[in-house]
Structures are given as structure tokens and as C-alpha cells.
């Protein structure tokens, strides 16, 4: 009888782990769109290019800074693996540095950093 109780308890514990699995209930927030890594990379690269174009066109520093912030926020949508995360973090560091340079008025440096970040983001596809 004692052995039967242990078996029943073990089966109950195993069933409860399966029933309350976090991956089984994983879902996104309401109204949030989840992109595949390649689509998220394309979206981020496009936003960086928009910021570069605005910078070259001589846009207002505040408006360009908002575009760069939007590009920086979209990097967070790229979810694939640890190596992709590491590379995207480097590119995001360049994007943030470009935003600081735009605020300081160093548009040449900001443009170069954005171009490097754009190349880095597009290079993520080869890591996938």
C-alpha cells in the first residue's frame, strides 16, 4: 500500500507539472503583434534607414532622436538565440550612441554609427 501511495503521488506531481506548464499558457499581451526574427530584423533595418535619411535631409534633432529611439525600441522585438541577442545588443549600443550624438549636434558621427548599426542588424540574418 505504501508503494502504491508513492506511485500515485509521483503521477499526480507529474500531471500537475504538465497541466500548469508556463510554455503551455504562453501568449502575448492583448494587441501586441509578435514577429518572426527575420521580419523583426527587416522592420528594424527599415527604421534605422528612415532615421539615416532624416539625418541626411537635415531634420530637426528632436525628430531624428525620436526616429532613432523608435529604431532602438524595435531591436527588442528580435528574439532568436543568445548569439543573435549578443549581436543585436551591439547594434543597439551603436543606435543609442547615435542618439546621444544627435542630441550633441555631432551628426557625422551619428550617421556613421547608424550605418554601422544598419549593417549589424542586417548581418543578424546570417546568424539565424
Q: Note down pLDDT in tens along the chain; length 128 residues.
A: 788 888 888 887 877 776 655 555 555 566 667 788 899 999 999 999 999 999 999 889 999 999 999 999 999 989 888 899 999 999 999 999 999 999 999 999 999 999 999 999 999 999 88
Q: Which domains does the chain have, with CATH numbers?
A: 30-127 (1.20.120)
Q: What is the sign, positive or negative, of the torsion defined by CA atoms of 69, 94, 39, 76?
A: negative
- At 30 the pLDDT is 64
Helix (H) or strand (E) holding 54: helix 37-56
Q: What is the pTM of this model?
A: 0.74
In the three-class reduction of DSSP (H, G, I as helix; E, B as strand; rest coil), residue 19 is classed as helix
- At 22 the pLDDT is 56
Give the cell for residue 89.
Answer: 545588443
Amino acid at each position: 500500500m505504501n508503494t502504491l501511495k508513492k506511485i500515485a503521488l509521483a503521477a499526480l506531481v507529474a500531471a500537475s507539472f504538465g497541466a500548469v506548464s508556463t510554455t503551455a499558457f504562453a501568449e502575448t499581451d492583448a494587441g501586441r503583434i509578435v514577429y518572426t526574427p527575420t521580419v523583426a530584423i527587416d522592420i528594424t533595418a527599415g527604421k534605422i534607414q528612415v532615421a539615416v535619411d532624416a539625418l541626411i535631409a537635415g531634420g530637426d534633432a528632436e525628430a531624428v532622436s525620436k526616429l532613432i529611439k523608435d529604431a532602438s525600441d524595435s531591436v527588442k522585438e528580435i528574439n532568436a538565440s543568445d548569439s543573435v541577442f549578443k549581436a543585436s545588443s551591439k547594434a543597439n549600443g551603436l543606435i543609442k550612441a547615435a542618439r546621444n550624438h544627435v542630441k550633441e549636434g555631432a551628426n557625422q558621427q551619428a550617421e556613421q554609427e547608424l550605418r554601422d548599426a544598419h549593417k549589424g542588424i542586417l548581418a543578424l540574418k546570417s546568424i539565424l
